[in-house]
């Protein structure tokens, strides 16, 4: 089947196969890179949110809490605004109203929380234990963790960092029940949220993102990149085919047609007026390999045409000589016949004369 295809078709088929193979291999590699890039982008956004939440907590501890502490003991009901985590949650709820972050989930998960809503689940407890092990080995080299995990709502991508209490004022509510505000004890009780250590991981600050969000970002990146790649490759194939058509095939065609005419003995009498011969002359002016080939082909065509003309002249000369020879032969035959008649006539006369003498 390939033998029946023309050069341009073979070239296009070869490039198409290379293109398809490149798309498959490149798509596999690109999908992995795209998903990794999407994970990095989501992790980066989550880290920015965590930094924002920590900034809110810091502002709450330094600016808001001192003001509320002056009236907290006078209030029968505990003011949750004094807790930095509460302020961070409220700010995150406002952020999650934006479409870009609507599927994000933020949580300050601790082993012994004041509010049981903040209690670490089994997975978060494992993370806290891992951070504690790493902290015991190297307190100054704790890194954020991010990966995929399966929750009740489905698979999620998470970014987690340890919660470490470094401000002694935070222990006012979490050291002992006696030191905590009475309104807090009345609201949350004294069984949870006390005995927190200083400068040690007590929980994890974690953000969950549905895995579909990560996969969607990865697919979007892959689709866009592959689309650009396909478009560029298609343009390259068309451009190469155009250049092949103009630079090679169009220059070879007059050689092929002229060779066919030579094979069929169809060269015109005035070969310089041949259209293909004229095109071949234009190609022969080039200094590339095809131009060199055209010049050789041109010389071959000239030599064949000259030999053809010389052979025709020789045939014509032989024909003329043959005709002259035939005419000479005819003339000699007539002379010989006339001489034979003369000889016969003489013999007859001689016989007649001898017969007369005898009488």
163-172, 189-198, 206-215, 258-267: which has the minimum mean pLDDT?
Answer: 258-267
Which of 198, 227, 256 is the C-terminal boundary of a domain? Answer: 227
State whether 180 and 303 are in the same domain: no
State whether 128 and 275 are in the same domain: no
Query: Distance between CA atoms of 8 and 14, rounded to whole angstroms?
Result: 10
State whether 68 and 213 are in the same domain: yes
Query: Looking at the 3D structure of the chain, how many domains does it have?
Result: 2
pLDDT at 160 over 90: yes
236 domain residue, yes or no: no
80 domain residue, yes or no: yes
Task: Tell me what pLDDT residue 272 has.
Answer: 47
pLDDT tens figures, 224-235: 888 888 888 888
CA dist list (Å): 297 to 192, 247, 277, 282, 302: 99, 17, 10, 13, 9
141 domain residue, yes or no: yes
pLDDT at 205 over 70: yes
Q: What is the mean pLDDT of the chain?
A: 81
Dmax of the chain from CA atoms?
200
Higher pLDDT, 88 or 340: 88
Task: Give the highest mean pLDDT range of 105-114, 163-172, 184-193, 328-337.
Answer: 105-114
CA dist list (Å): 237 to 12, 182, 214: 7, 78, 34
Task: Tell me what pLDDT residue 170 has.
Answer: 74
State whether 86 and 210 are in the same domain: yes
Q: How confident is the model at residue 191 (pLDDT cuts 50, 70, 90)?
A: confident
State whether 163 and 287 are in the same domain: no
248 domain residue, yes or no: no
Task: Give the highest mean pLDDT range of 47-56, 231-240, 339-348.
Answer: 47-56
Q: What is the mean pLDDT of residues 17-42?
A: 82
Q: Percent of the chain scored above 70 by pLDDT?
A: 90
53-57, 139-143, 149-153, 304-308: which has the minimum mean pLDDT?
Answer: 304-308
What are the phi and psi torsion angles at 105 (to 5°)?
-125, 125
Q: What is the mean pLDDT of residues 237-264?
A: 77
State whether 210 and 287 are in the same domain: no
pLDDT at 271 over 70: no
Task: Tell me what pLDDT residue 13 has.
Answer: 82
pLDDT tens figures, 274-321: 666 667 677 777 777 777 777 877 777 777 777 777 887 888 888 888
| Cα dihedral: 172, 176, 179, 184 (round 10) | 80
Contact 57, 87 (CB under 8 A): yes
Q: What is the mean pLDDT of residues 180-202?
A: 86
State whether 181 and 297 are in the same domain: no
254 domain residue, yes or no: no
Q: How confident is the model at residue 207 (pLDDT cuts 50, 70, 90)?
A: very high
253 domain residue, yes or no: no
Q: How confident is the model at residue 5 (pLDDT cuts 50, 70, 90)?
A: confident
| Cα dihedral: 147, 151, 155, 157 (round 10) | -30
pLDDT at 152 over 80: no
State whether 110 and 191 are in the same domain: yes
State whether 314 and 203 are in the same domain: no
Q: What is the mean pLDDT of residues 37-57?
A: 87
Q: Which domain holds residue 77?
A: 2-227
Q: What residues pair up with 106 in beta bridges, in sequence order?
A: 207
pLDDT at 61 over 50: yes
State whether 30 and 166 are in the same domain: yes
State whether 223 and 277 are in the same domain: no
Query: Distance between CA atoms of 271 and 274, rounded to whole angstroms?
Result: 5
Which of 227, 256, 288 is the C-terminal boundary of a domain? Answer: 227
State whether 195 and 83 are in the same domain: yes
218 domain residue, yes or no: yes
Query: Does the reported pTM lie above 0.85?
Result: no
Contact 169, 61 (CB under 8 A): yes
Which of 178, 204, 227 is the C-terminal boundary of a domain? Answer: 227
Q: What residues pair up with 204 in beta bridges, in sequence order?
A: 109, 162
245 domain residue, yes or no: no
What is the distance between the terminal CA atoms of the chain, rounded to a whole angstrom? 107
Q: What is the mean pLDDT of residues 24-49?
A: 83
Q: How many CB atoms lie within 10 A of CB 226?
A: 16
Nearest of 117, 130, 184, 146 to residue 39 by alpha carbon:
146
């Amino acid at each position: 089947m390939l033998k029946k295809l023309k050069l341009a078709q073979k070239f296009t088929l070869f490039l198409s196969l290379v293109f398809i193979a490149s798309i498959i291999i490149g798509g596999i590699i690109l999908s992995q890179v795209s998903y990794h890039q999407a994970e990095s982008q989501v992790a980066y956004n989550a880290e920015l949110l965590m930094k924002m939440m920590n900034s809110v907590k810091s502002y709450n501890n330094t600016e808001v809490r001192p003001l509320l502490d002056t009236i907290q003991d006078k209030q029968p009901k505990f003011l949750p605004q004094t807790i930095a985590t509460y302020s961070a949650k409220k700010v995150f709820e406002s952020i999650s109203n934006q479409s870009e972050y609507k599927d994000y989930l933020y949580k300050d998960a601790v082993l012994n929380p004041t509010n049981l809503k903040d209690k670490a689940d089994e997975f978060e407890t494992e993370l806290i234990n891992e951070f504690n092990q790493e902290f015991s080995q190297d307190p100054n080299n704790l890194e954020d963790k991010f990966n995929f995990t399966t929750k009740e709502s489905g698979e999620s991508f998470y970014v987690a960092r340890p919660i470490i209490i470094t401000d002694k004022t935070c222990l006012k509510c979490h050291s002992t029940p006696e030191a905590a505000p009475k309104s807090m004890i009345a609201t949350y009780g004294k069984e949870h949220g006390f005995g927190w250590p200083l400068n040690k991981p007590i929980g994890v600050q974690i953000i969950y993102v549905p895995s579909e969000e990560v996969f969607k970002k990865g697919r979007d990146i892959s689709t866009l990149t592959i689309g650009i790649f396909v478009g560029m490759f298609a343009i390259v194939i068309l451009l190469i085919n155009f250049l092949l058509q103009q630079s090679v095939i169009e220059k070879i065609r007059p050689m092929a047609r002229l060779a066919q005419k030579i094979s069929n003995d169809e060269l015109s009498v005035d070969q310089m007026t041949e259209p293909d011969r004229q095109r071949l002359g234009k190609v022969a002016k080039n200094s590339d390999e095809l131009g060199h080939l055209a010049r050789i082909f041109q010389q071959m065509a000239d030599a064949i045409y000259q030999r053809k003309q010389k052979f025709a002249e020789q045939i014509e000369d032989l024909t003329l000589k043959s005709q002259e020879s035939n005419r000479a032969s005819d003339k000699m035959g007539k002379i010989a016949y006339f001489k034979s008649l003369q000889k016969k006539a003489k013999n007859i006369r001689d016989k007649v004369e001898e017969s007369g003498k005898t009488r």
